[in-house]
A and B are shown apart, each in its own frame.
Chain A
Amino acid sequence: MRLTADGHPSDELLSAYLAEAIEDPAVEAAVSAHLDTCSACREQIAQLHAITTLLAELPAPSLPRSFALTREELERLRPRPWYLRYQPAFRWASAVAAVLLVALLGLDLLTAGPAAREAPGPAADRRALPEPAAATPVAALSAPAEPTAGAEGAGGATPELAPAGKEVPTESIGVMAATPEPAVTTPAPSPAPSPERETAMTSPLRLAAAVVSMVLAVTLVLGFLLPRLAARRFSRTP
């Protein structure tokens, strides 16, 4: 087997032979056979071997310092649980969910409450309630909605309600969760034959509100409650 054009194995092939890195056994045998007869290539192998010997005895550099991490560094870098890693995201998500929830509930009140109450008036036509609703059920419905709405004017009530609703979460999340209660439950106990069109219209809103409140609950637990519990557990361990 001829190895290269000039009959000698290449530098690289000799090097591979020394490293026992020749894949093909036939090539390895050919190099071995060639080395038995060629002193130049034997010299080359010897040089390669000498280089590896000298590389191995290169003195190790002295360390500029110890790289041991201090206790403070280790504590700070301690692999953190996933809920701590995403804590800011959870907190932002809970804030967004709270605002969204208030907006959805406010919207729900606006479409359910005032729309029904204003039905007899001419202004209510804009609210897309063309069906001539009976006077009595409407009056019954308007009563529970009264405390939150608090606006007598027809169209003017809308802009006033939105900011009023947004202020709720700043006080307390518990209060916020409580306030929508009556609005959600009112249609059920109302004695009058509940207008089905109205519930059909508000249900997507309420579904969204339900989903958002679930998101809010989860993000509150992950963003606030769990980290606090974890902090208490860590502070107890020395």
Chain B
Amino acid sequence: MGEHIERPDDALVHAVRSGDLTAFNVLVERYQHAVYAVALRLLRDRFLAEDITQDAFLRAYTALDSYRGGSFRAWLLRIAHNRALDTLRSLQRRPTSSLDLAGADVHAEWSGEPAPASPAEHAARGELRRRIEAALATLPDDQRATVILFDIEGFSYEEIATITGVSLGTVKSRLSRGRARLRALLAVDETSRELLEGFLRQANDGPSERSSGSE
């Protein structure tokens, strides 16, 4: 497996197709964090997210012939995203879903907190992040998936268009609407608004892009 680590995705896909099975696991190592993170943020249930991640890689392996170049990680995430949405829909059809119960334990799972500026500041920032995540959970699925993929996981508009199977324009409008809704949700809550304003006061001390509104 060692000789594969540096190889680009398409070279690894080619190796898998010509019978080198270990090359596939290099791709798994490369993308399992992204697949699991997206599945967990969409479903907010660790066990479902684990199932979907496992299933996505199995499907990707058996359906590798249907990958026709482009972005492998977008192709892979498309499989995971579709599976996650299918699961979400089947859960939402049932009134007593595990989603409400599972939401609470998600936060305990995060690892690697960013370095704190000061204890109080760190606590406020953590609380704000927690509130943003809670607000994110209330967005419609399509907006939520787009915000997760773009703002959290850092996929490009083009990749998200592939993953979610919609046009670039739709991706952009979902992102804009999702963010606007997040802001509106935070603004109506007194504590959240104050936390956000406190965060902005700190941020104004440092440089920030486009936040002043002019290009």
Contacts and interface: CB of A to CB of B under 8 A. Distances in A.
Contacts of A11: 180-181, 183-184
B61 interface: yes
Contacts of B136: 55
A156 to B, nearest CB: 58
Interface of A: 10-12, 14-16, 18-19, 21, 23, 32, 35-36, 41-69, 71, 73-75, 77-79, 237
A50 B203 contact: yes
A165 B57 CA distance: 52
Contact of A71 (B17, B21, B29, B173): B21
B4 interface: no
A57 to B, nearest CB: 5
Contacts, number: 160
B118 interface: no
Interface string B60-85: 01101100000000000000000000
Given A14-B180, A48-B183, 7 more contacts: A15-B183, A21-B176, A32-B214, A36-B214, A45-B211, A61-B36, A69-B28
17 contacts: A15-B177, A19-B179, A21-B175, A23-B169, A46-B212, A49-B208, A51-B186, A54-B199, A57-B114, A62-B109, A63-B32, A63-B33, A66-B28, A68-B32, A69-B24, A69-B25, A74-B24
A54 B129 contact: yes
Contacts of B211: 45-46, 49-50
B110 A61 contact: yes
Interface of B: 17, 19, 21, 24-25, 28-29, 32-33, 35-37, 40, 46, 50, 53-54, 57-58, 61-62, 64-65, 106, 109-114, 125, 128-129, 132-133, 136, 147, 151-152, 154, 169, 172-173, 175-177, 179-184, 186-187, 196, 199-200, 203, 208-215
A44 B212 CA distance: 10
A56 B132 contact: no
A210 B36 CA distance: 57
Contacts of B110: 58-62
A36 B152 CA distance: 29
Contacts of A68: 25, 28-29, 32
Nearest to B65: A79
A67 B64 contact: no
A93 to B, nearest CB: 25
